[in-house]
Every structure is written in C-alpha cells, then in structure tokens.
Chain A
Amino acid sequence: MENLIALLVAAPLLGAAVLLCGGRRLDRVGHLLGTLLAAASFVIGVVLFADMLGKNADDRTFTQHLFSWIPVEGFQADVSFQLDQLSMTFVLLITGVGSLIHIYSIGYMEHDERRRRFFGYLNLFLAAMLLLVLADNYLLLYVGWEGVGLASYLLIGFWQHKPSAATAAKKAFLVNRVGDMGLSIAVMLMFTTFGTFAFGPVLKSAEEHLGGGATLTGIALMLLLAACGKSAQVPLQSWLGDAMEGPTPVSALIHAATMVTAGVYLIVRSGAVFNASPDAQLVVVVVGAVTLLFGAIVGCAKDDIKKALAGSTMSQIGYMVLAAGLGPIGYVFAIMHLVTHGFFKAGLFLGAGSVMHGMNDEVDMRKYGALRKYMPVTFVTFGLGYLAIIGFPGLSGFFSKDKIIEAAFAKGGTEGWILGSVALLGAAITAYYMTRVMIMTFFGEKRWQPDGEGHEPHPHESPKSMTIPMIVLAVGSVFAGGFFSIGDRFLHWLEPVTEHSHGNAPISATTVTAATMVVLVVGAGLAYLQYGRRPVPVVAPRGSLLTRAARRDLLQDDFNHVVLVRGGEHLTRSLVYVDHTLVDGVVNGTAASVGGLSGRLRKLQNGYARSYAVSMFGGAALIVAATLLMRAV
C-alpha cells in the first residue's frame, strides 16, 4: 500500500512530461489526459486515505524510500516520501481541488489553442506541490518548492503575449526567489547544525534545543522568510495581486489548493523548530496579523473582482500564518482553515471566472450588476462561498475562522488581546469587502455597456464542465467546516502530527462567537449601506486617502521601488564606481606599469649587435667585480 505514495507524484508528473513533450498530436486529447491523471492521483490519495483510516492513530505514518539521491560520505540525501495525517490532508486538498480545477479548465480554456500546454503546466504544478508535501526531508521539499515556483511562473505568464502577464510572471518568480533563498539558507543551517535534512531527526533535535537558541531562531526566521515568499505574506506579498494576470483557473489553483498553502505547510511541518524559538513565533504572528489587515484593506478598495479576491486570499492566509505562529494552540486550526479556505476560495475564484466567461472577460465589478438573473448557478455557488468566507453560522468559514480567533485570544496576556482584536477586526473587514463584491456583482442594476467595438456582453451561464466543479466546491464550502468541527474530528486526526494544546482563553468561546457575529453583521451591514442602498457609480469615485492607497496595494510596489530598486541601483552604481576606479585601477595600473616598464626594457632590444655586446661586456665586468669582492671577503 505504501508503494502507492510515489504514484501520487508520478501520475501528474507523467502527465506533464507527456503533454509537454508530446507535441501537437496530443492537442485533441491532451486536456482529457491531464484531467484523468490528476483524477488518478486523487483516487490514489483516497485509497491511501481509506487505508490510513483503517489504522491506529499512531501507525498512520507511511514512508516510502525510493532511492538514494546523493549518497556521499557525511551527506546523505534520499528521495523518500513520508505520508502522515498532515501530508494526507494536503494530498486530498491538492488532488481534489486540483482535479476539479482541471475539469473546470476544460470548459474555461476551450478556445485557447495552447490548451494542451496549459494542462501540462497544471499537471506539473500538481506534481511539484505533491512532491513538496510528501517529501520526508527538507532537501526534497526544496525541489518541490522550486518546482511550484517554476510552474507558477509558467502559469501566471501563460498568456505571455500580454506584456502585463509576462511582467507579472517575472515578478512572482523574482519575489519568490527571495523566499527560496531563505529556504535554502535554512536547509544549509540545518545541515551544519544537525547534520541531516530529514524531518524526523531535525525536528527531534529542535525539540531538544540542540544547536542553541540563536541558531534555531535563525533557522525559524529563514523558514518564515520562505513561507512569506510562497504564501504572499508581508513583506513579500507584492506578487500575489499581479498573479491575477494568469487564467482564472490558475488563480484558483494558486490561491486555494497549492502554492500559497505551501508556506503554511512549511511552518506547521517545522512546528518543532518554531516551538523552540518564541522570538521567531512572535515574528510569525506579527507577520500574520499585519498581512491579515493588509490583504483585507486592499481587498476593500479593488474594483477588479479577481484582485479583490486576491486581497482576500492574502488576508485569509494571514489568518493561517497567525494561527501557525501561535504554536500548538493554533497549528490544527491553521490547517483546518486552510482546507475550508481551499474549498470556498476555489469556489469563489471559479465563480469569478464563470462571471468573466459570461462577460467577455470583463473584470471590473463596476461594470457588472444584477448578474444573479443571468447566471443562477454561478450566483448560488458564489453566494455559498461568500457566506462561507465571511463566517456565516453553520458554514465552513464560521467554524475554522472562529477557532483561529479563539486561539488568538487564548495566546494569553496583552499579546492575546491584541491578536484577538486584530483577528476580529479582520473578520469585520472580510465581511465588508466580500459583501461589497457580492452586491456589486450580482445585485443592483445592470451596469454593463457595449465595449469599444460595440459588442454588448450577453451574460450567460457557463457550460457544465465549469458549473459542476463549482457546485462540488460549494457543497464543500457549506459542509466541510461542520464536518471537521463536530466532535473535533479534524483535531483528533491531526493531533498526532502537530500536537495540540488549549491555551488559557481569557474569554469563553461563546463570547468570541458572539463577538464574531456582531462584527460580521456590522461589516456586512456597512457594505450593504454603502453599495446596496445606492446605485454603484460606474466610474470609481476618488475616495479617501486610504482608499487610494489601497487601490495601489497600499503602495507596496512604490515601497519596493524606492527601497529595493532605487537602493539597488544606488548600490550597483557605487559598486560599479568602486569597480571602475579601484579594482580596474589596480588592474589597469598594474598592466600600464608593466607595459611602460616593458616599453622601456624594449628599447634595450634595439637589434644592434654592439648594444648587446656592451651588455655582455658590462656583465663580464660585474662578474669580475663579484669574484674580486668574494675573494676580498
């Protein structure tokens, strides 16, 4: 049974290889093949899951050693897989949601002539992500990590004929490289400190505080940097919004099932390292809290439906990172929120894609309105996702987000109050911006107009291949949270891997839930007052200073430009100056002096035999002098 683990990765990898190397012959069946292999991976995952459920909670870790990758004395790198409850959760999420997105893409990308290649990239994405979560050591995880980066680059820039898409892909790749650098440094530190990469020994050593607090904090911070890059956390968040340039299924895949979850996975997986370093944990929760608000504020101001959802993703991942930073109190809830978020965010993105599909790829919400009549299925599924994300009682988000807010309060002390308040505030803003999206898209008057060439959009429901995944995801969004929470099923499932502890909550769970409900109503009500009661202007009003800043992603790009680009330019310029004057000066000076000396010496070689004879004679005189001197001495 354990031999199936490798097949999980192999199936999509095979798909990617066949689709990308197969050429045009596969154009007609490529998408089916890709979907089939993704589904096959899901089926294998389910089989393994069933097998795992049949075992005791402590025997649920499967490992498969494939081969020795770099067998060198003192440096052992293996390609071996480890499947435990945490990996299993991710495998099901990745392959399940991934397969649904594959199916959706069949319809969405129908008219794209490079559809086969698109499915190849999707499969590559799945394979890399599965490798990431299944690896049993950090080095192999790093391979998957880089694979995800590569696949995201290829997919975001899939429409590379658009300069904006090409730029966005490059931006995502470069920002991710910063995080990757963090991961590689962390891996190197691990090797020098513990002498191994494998999860088991590394985490065990970290639990025993081997290597000293400073080193552990360093490793943890480097891991956090890596997580920030992949999960779009402040300060490496800037690529996420631009990544919307990719096709919508890609956005769904990146935001719901893969990529951004990798950072959370890394933090939870390395929980022992973070537990050993409270300082690093503090940084993690600060990053999570800041990102939570950052993403939410950005989401409020965007008129582009996908970018609004992107801000939402950033904010929700912020919740997860916040939870992960809380330590054993929050690990389980981080993963739980990750899974429920995977459902409803994938549903929301697919819904957004469906809307765009019907609206001639218009993304500006100010040109939507009243779409509920034209796209009933999309409206219902999107609406369910909306209710789930704002935490409507009984739906997925309600359970998972509530737990995180509780856990934040349970951190205890002033810290706990601050974090809890931030999480509550985030919940209010979430309710606000999601209600805004909902109202602007599906309610009110129709605001669409003929485009420049006189084509008026004819909103219509999307084909079955697109609606069915949306329906499935909507079902997940509604019931997953409840299913997980009732009887603490998910807690018991993950506890053997991540451990769990109840903090000392200063306020009761009921109070937190009540508070959440209050802020939910306040947020949604505000949005209703602002957008539901009044007609939405087609041209965005100027807005307050904060709105304008938020429209520009809270000036993240300006910040990067001023601090990194300008700073880099100045640094480069000064280095170039040093290089030109100092280094080149030394080199050229040496060359010039040697050249000048040679030029002078060359004059001795004038070709006249008599000159040479003088040298000889002078030399003979010197030898005589030397002889006499020696004798005199």
Chain B
Amino acid sequence: MRYSGFKVIKEALTGHRGWGPAWRDAEPKSNYDYVIIGGGGHGLATAYYLAKQYRQSRIAVVEKGWIGGGNVGRNTTIIRSNYLLDGNEPFYEFSLKLWEVLEQDLNYNAMVSQRGILNLIHSDAQRDAFVRRGNAMILNGADAELLSTEQILRRYPFLNVNNARFPIKGGLAQHRGGTVRHDAVAWGYARAADQHGVDIIQNCEVTGFRIEDGTCSGIETTRGFIGAKKIAACVAGSSSRLMTKAGMRLPIESHVLQAFVSEGLKPVLPGVITFGAGHFYCSQSDKGGLVFGGDIDGYNSYAQRGNLPVVEDVCEGGMAIFPVLGRVRLLRMWGGIMDMSMDGSPIIDRTHIDGLYFNGGWCYGGFKATPASGFAFAHLLATDTPHETATAYRFDRFARGCMIDEKGMGNQPNLH
C-alpha cells in the first residue's frame, strides 16, 4: 500500500478500515543470504538499502524485543553533519543528504525538519576552532555559517548572552541540520524493507554464533538456528554483549546517556541549540516538549537509567544560557546505552571471522548517522568493500594509529 494524501482522505471517509499493518510479523526461515542482528534504525536501514540499493534478496532482520525499542527510540532526534575530520565529515554529510530525501524514498512521514542547529561560541579560542570546523564542513559540501551574537538574539531572544562564565560571543550554524521523528525512522525503514521482501523477525534473541574453522554459518536464537551466508551485527549499546558470544573483545565501553523532556509548551525554541561548554543542548518537539540532554554519566553501564548528579549538571547548564527553563517542569527522563568507542568514532567493518560483519561504536551520535550507516553497511555486505564515505571506520585503526578522534581525547571512552 502506498501512502498519499488521496489515501488519507479515502480512509477518513470509509472509517479507516483499509490501512492494514505496515509490515509483516515474519516467522524465521531456516536459511537466508543475509541475517542482520538488531531491529533498530541502523539494522532496518541496512536491510532496506541492501534490498533496494544493492538488489540483494533473502534478507532477515532479527530483533530480541520489538523493532525500534532500543536507541532509535531513546535519543534526542537531532540530525546534523557538523564534524571536522576527514574520516567523519563526508560520511555524516552523506547521511544528511539521505535524510533530505528519506521521506520520499520511504513513502513515509518521518517529520524530517531542517530547523537548523546552532553551536554556541564563548571565547576567541572556541571561535577559531569553530571557524576551522565550519570551513572543513564547507570543503566537504556541507553548509555552515558563523553568526554574531546579534544574529543569534534575533532568532533566540531569550538566550542569556551575558553569563559571567560563558558569555555568548557568536555561534556556528548549520541551517540544514534539525530534528526527525525518531520512531518513524524505524517504522519507515521497517515498512519499506518489508515491501522489498525483508523478513522482520521480532522476539528472537541471538544466543550464539555457529562458527567453524573461522567461518560463521549462522546464529542460534531463542527461535531456533538460522543459517546465513553473511551475518551482520547492528546492536550498538549491546555490541560487547553480543560479540562476546563470537569470542570477540571490542574497542568499546557501554555508557549511559540521559535525556529529558519538559511538559508541552507553545512554540518557543525554533531550532536546535547546543551549549557544548556547559554540557547542554535543547530542541523543541512538535508536541511542544523541550527535549534536552548533556553528557554521559561517565561509568560503564547497561542500566538504561542514570544517576542524579548528571541531571543536576544538565539542568544547571540549561539554566545558565536559557533561564526561562526555570519555570518549566520536567515531564520525563530516560537513559540509553551508548557504545562508547576508544576514539569517539564508529566501526563499520568485517570481523576476523568470515561471514561475520560488525556495525557499532556510535557513541552518542548514532541517530543522525542512521541512513548513511545502513547504506554503508549494506555496501560492505553486498560488495565486501567499504563504502567510499566509510573507509576509515575499520577495526584495525587503533593498532595502526589511525584514530578518528574529533575531540582529541585519546583512548578514554567516557571523555568522547
């Protein structure tokens, strides 16, 4: 079924009886060409591009719970491509370009909203760094504009530009950045993948890998053995937990990142603002809630909930630049588990086990990467060569000394 304005009117007039499920709840078959582990944004995108772009078939996505129940349902929905380094920026710009055509491509309303993202500047040194980053973005085909404090105040008159410690001295804007309805990304990819014949198998947890003579020939699951020529792990947040079953240790620590939503307000915040120096960023959802977050808690965790010191820290950051927040009540908060990698950048690569492929290490930047991650991982699976925008995301970059460390923090995952 194709969604359209005409279809909406027709269904409205006929009692909404003709919609039907958006995807099949498939039963596992005994054998596939490709099995993708993880029915989140990245796994479903991988399946979709594998089927559509690379014209592969006999594809399954296995998910231990329900699709979209992991980090694609637990993020702050921001898209952007404001990176500095060569290994990253072309990839994230490719992702942003895919976001721009996503809804037409999937025939699904994912509420992609290019409302713009603004990184605030507080010092001369930070301005120099942001000018450099903006130039790197422009050189890679992205958009970037340096704004003065006056230009910022025109759009965000409520910002406290005279904070004693962090006065706002300008900002780096990416007008093509914005937000997307996160759940709709999972559902849109699921529906589109299903229409290309992909089996989406829910409530099917991987319990082990069948590996003989260095080759992986399938997965053991709670719903039986599923054989496959190529097995693709796409479970960021649980990567170490899964890959341990294949005997692998990863350059990853799992950390919890908290996020918050306020009660619904009338439109107040037209774009996304980030206050990196104070560990706070914020946007307003279409329902009216202010969606905001800050840093990871900083210790290994699989708990999907954090602790109060970070809540206090994030709210202090918010109050420093956005004082009207003080009148707003917090509605909900949650934690998501991040694959924090050793250099703050992801991995899309083959493993040393034939037939087993890995996608993970997204730190807290996985949501914006969803389309490009799926596209690049599908490229790797179909062709056994890395996609041109993802050539740097290799396992061996740590041993080779080719880290992609945007912040220059070194091998300390909780600092990225």
Task: Decide whether A and B assemble into one complex.
Answer: no
Q: Which residues of B contact A (CB under 8 A)?
A: none
